[in-house]
Amino acid sequence: MGNAFNLGRLFGIQFRLHYTWFIIFILITASLSWRVFPGSYPGWPLLLYWVIGTVTSLLFFASVLAHELAHSLIGRTQGIPIKSITLFIFGGMAQMTREAAHPGAEFKMAAAGPACSLMLGGLFALIYFLTQSTIEPVAAMAYWLAYINVALAAFNLIPGFPLDGGRVFRSILWRVTGNYKRSTRIATRVGQGMGYLFILGGILIMFILHDWLGGLWLAFIGWFLGNAASLSYRQAQWREGLHRFTASEVMTSDCPVVPPSDSVSQLVQGYAFATGHRCFLVAEEGRLMGMLTLDDTKTASRPDWGVTQVTEIMTPVDRLKVAHPDQDALSILEQMDESNLNQMPVVSEGRVIGLVARHNLMRFLGIRPRSGGIG
Ligand SMILES: [Zn+2]
């Protein structure tokens, strides 16, 4: 997801706010302060509605973050690293760098989110019972947060992939049938079906109940869900595709090798302009010393290109991630995702025999993959 602000890192996970989040934050804050609280608790000062509305809205999104964090922390214990958590218009999304290796891992990771929301729902319900006859604004806040967290868990448990319930459903099918591909196909079909049902429900609500905003919102969620299900299925297909190939089959061997004595201007004029390559290996007598991309040349100022050696701006070999010739292409892509790399040299017995570039992998399969997410 592009166009997101970085909020910072916690537990090694990048937290991000997508610009569409501001829309939903304003909508929820306004509806709480304007409609929900004044409707149920008349007689508060106007300012109090807005203070409690804003705090409740922020606590709701904190609950969504906790839900995603539960997926992420449990996912990590199951060997599924999570790179980032993003809040956006439909809630939260944790970006996974790989899919679960076995059904048990997927089940635990997927169930962790709704379990966390249910626990938060219980916690807020307890706060409600403790404060209902003493501190009304706190009780009002806790009541709504208890309700919304339980609703969040219930919605996410709908068994359509890629919702959490769809992942739980897939993991059960996967455990029972032992067939990952078929389980994914069934769970994503259910996800698409749920999407259509939501759209249909939204249209009925609009035209029969004349609740235009509510109906439109439901249809919008259905459209998003159906799309996400189709995309997840395509992702599963290309992952399957990549899994069948090895590094030596997908690498390119026409990767320019430059000598360590070259200057940056020699590299740019001699290789980059002439060949259109963006990535270069620095090697002497076949022995890899490092790698550099055209982006690395920006670290040296242009007037200094003539006197800067390529070895000064390259990523040295001891800091490079390298692939083995018989490593499968899917695990290489996962390693690239985890380390934010776009290419990895393929090394056999200390010698570079080629380069796996992300765009080559995509071209190899004729598709444009993205890494998966869990909501
Ligand atoms: Zn979830």
Q: How confident is the model over 1-28, as pLDDT tens digits?
A: 667 888 888 888 889 999 989 999 999 9
* Out of 161-170, 185-194, 286-295, least confident range: 286-295
**Of all residues in the chain, what percent carry a pLDDT higher than 70?**
97
| Of residues 254 and 67, more confidently modeled | 67
Determine the distance separating the centroid of ligand 1 and the alpha carbon of 71, expressed in angstroms. Answer: 7
Query: Do residues 310 and 267 make contact, with C-beta atoms less than 8 angstroms apart?
Result: yes
Query: Do residues 3 and 17 make contact, with C-beta atoms less than 8 angstroms apart?
Result: no
Determine the distance separating the centroid of ligand 1 and the alpha carbon of 113, expressed in angstroms. Answer: 5
Q: Measured between alpha carbons, how far is 56 from 123 in angstroms, rounded to an integer? A: 14
- Using pLDDT thresholds of 50, 70 and 90, give the confidence band for residue 114: very high
Determine the distance separating the centroid of ligand 1 and the alpha carbon of 87, expressed in angstroms. Answer: 12
Give pLDDT, residue 342: 79
The vertex-109 CA angle with 198 and 82, nearest 5°, equals 100
Query: Do residues 355 and 281 make contact, with C-beta atoms less than 8 angstroms apart?
Result: yes
Give pLDDT, residue 304: 83
Amino acid at 314: M
Query: CA distances (Å), 121 to each of 37, 115, 154, 320, in order?
Result: 19, 10, 11, 46
As residues whose CB is below 5 A from the ion ligand 1, the structure lists: 113, 156, 164, 375
Give pLDDT, residue 100: 82
Determine the distance separating the centroid of ligand 1 and the alpha carbon of 148, expressed in angstroms. Answer: 14
First to last CA, the chain: 13
Amino acid at 27: L
Specify whether the backbone of 84 is left (phi greater than 0), alpha (psi in -120 to 50) or beta. Answer: beta
pLDDT (tens digit per residue) in 31-88: 889 988 888 888 888 888 999 999 999 999 999 999 999 999 999 998 888 888 998 8
Q: Is the sign of the CA dihedral 336, 227, 75, 66 positive or negative?
A: positive
Q: Which two tokens stand for residue 73?
A: 């922390």
Determine the distance separating the centroid of ligand 1 and the alpha carbon of 203, expressed in angstroms. Answer: 26
- Using pLDDT thresholds of 50, 70 and 90, give the confidence band for residue 299: confident
Mean pLDDT over each residue of the chain, to the nearest integer: 86
Give pLDDT, residue 365: 67
Query: Which are the catalytic amino acids?
Result: 68
Q: Which two tokens stand for residue 285?
A: 């007598």
DSSP 192-258: HHHHHHHHHHHHHHHHHS--HHHHHHHHHHHHHHHHHHHHHHHHHHHHHHHHT-BHHHH-BS---EE
Query: Do residues 110 and 100 make contact, with C-beta atoms less than 8 angstroms apart?
Result: no
Determine the distance separating the centroid of ligand 1 and the alpha carbon of 202, expressed in angstroms. Answer: 23
Name, in order, each residue with C-beta under 8 angstroms of 106's C-beta and a sequence gap of 6 or more: 78, 99, 100, 167, 170, 171, 174
Give pLDDT, residue 144: 93
Give pLDDT, residue 2: 66
Give pLDDT, residue 51: 92
Q: Measured between alpha carbons, how far is 148 from 61 in angstroms, rounded to an integer? A: 11
Residue 367 has pLDDT above 70, yes or no: no
Determine the distance separating the centroid of ligand 1 and the alpha carbon of 40, expressed in angstroms. Answer: 30
pLDDT (tens digit per residue) in 329-360: 888 888 887 777 778 888 887 777 888 887 77
Determine the distance separating the centroid of ligand 1 and the alpha carbon of 117, expressed in angstroms. Answer: 9
Q: What is the mean pLDDT of residues 293-303?
A: 80
Q: How far from the centroid of its chain's Cα atoms is residue 55's Cα?
A: 27
Residue 240 has pLDDT above 80, yes or no: no
Residue 235 has pLDDT above 60, yes or no: yes
Give pLDDT, residue 141: 93
**Of all residues in the chain, what percent carry a pLDDT higher than 90?**
33
